[in-house]
Structure 1
Amino acid sequence: MVQAEGKTFPFVGEEAIRPDFLETFAYEYPQREAEITIETDEWNCVCPFSGLPDFGTLVIRYVPDRLCLELKSLKYYLTSFRQVGIYQEHAANRLLEDLVRAVQPKRMEVTLDYRLRGGIHTVVTVRYPDAGGKA
């Protein structure tokens, strides 16, 4: 929780993130490589340094193996970040870890493109497997 000029901006920790909301369904064409892109400009969480909200665009790209991500469940999962104090770099990695665990894709990339704040524009991209081939 951050205090500024006598005002309090409450936020919660990462324990409030709900990966259990994520659901999948069977990908019926595992022999065919398809890249799926999911994008929303309604991404938000809270800066743990200032307590102020961070807003941006989230892009998820993945190649399914046997499972696809169910979109309504993704919306619920993403909403669980709304009051979470988490650094931008950590948010991207947490998203990737939770999504990979749920979907078990061949490849996945998560990009968070944060709106300009204080003259600084931040874009964080993380990938699975990483460049060294690690999970």
Structure 2
Amino acid sequence: MGNVKVDHSKYQNIRFDTQDESVILTEILETIPYEYPGKEVEVEIPTAEFTSVCPWSGLPDFAEIKITFVPDRHLIEMKSLKYYLTSYRNVGIYQEHATRRILEELAAVAKPKRMRVEALWNPRGGLGTRVVAEFPEKS
């Protein structure tokens, strides 16, 4: 069994089409007023359906993402968030970069007191990744 030769050359030029980051629908993000400014609440938005693709192979990357924030004057409008997150579906982007970008774009539109984006990426090849990004930056 150790002398079996397998020809893997058929995989060398396979690459699925990916889109670049310009298709991410950042402009679709909307907020609604938070009606209790000065009174803190913690909002947690989990999703188990986030998908982007590996920029090298085009193979899908799946993640559970949890967005947690304390609003100041704005809440994130959920329908716009769903469209925004879905727009990553065919984007070739590294897992760490996707997580960071989501945090930066959501914080820019909602202007929260605090925000945290945690992404638990499904394992591929036996390795999973957990990425956490926070606003404001910890010193």
Q: Does 1:117 align with 2:124?
A: yes
Partner of 2:48: 41
Alignment of 1:66-81 (within 5 A): 66-81=73-88
Distance apart, 1:7 and its partner CA = 3.5
Distance apart, 1:97 and its partner CA = 0.8
Distance apart, 1:73 and its partner CA = 0.6
Distance apart, 1:5 and its partner CA = 4.7
Select the structure of larger CA radius of gyration: 2
Aligned-residue RMSD, C-alpha: 1.3
Distance apart, 1:125 and its partner CA = 0.2
Q: 2:44 touches 2:67 (CA, 8 Å); kept in 1?
A: yes
Match of 2:106 among 56, 81, 99: 99
Partner of 2:28: 21
Partner of 2:3: none
Amino acid across the alignment from 2:131: V
Q: Deviations over 1:67-88 (max 9, x none)?
A: 0001011000001100100001
Secondary structure of the residue aligned to 1:34 is coil
1: CA distance between counterparts of 2:135 and 2:64? Answer: 19
Q: List gaps (5 residues or longer) in structure 1.
A: none
Partner of 2:63: 56
Partner of 2:4: none
Distance apart, 1:58 and its partner CA = 0.6
TM-score w.r.t. the length of structure 1 is 0.92
Count matched residues.
Answer: 130
1: CA distance between counterparts of 2:68 and 2:13? Answer: 43
* Distance change (3 Å), C-alpha of 1:90 and 1:46: same
Q: List gaps (5 residues or longer) in structure 2.
A: 1-9
2: CA distance between counterparts of 1:67 and 1:106? Answer: 10
Q: Deviations over 1:26-65 (max 9, x none)?
A: 0000121100000000011001122110001010000000
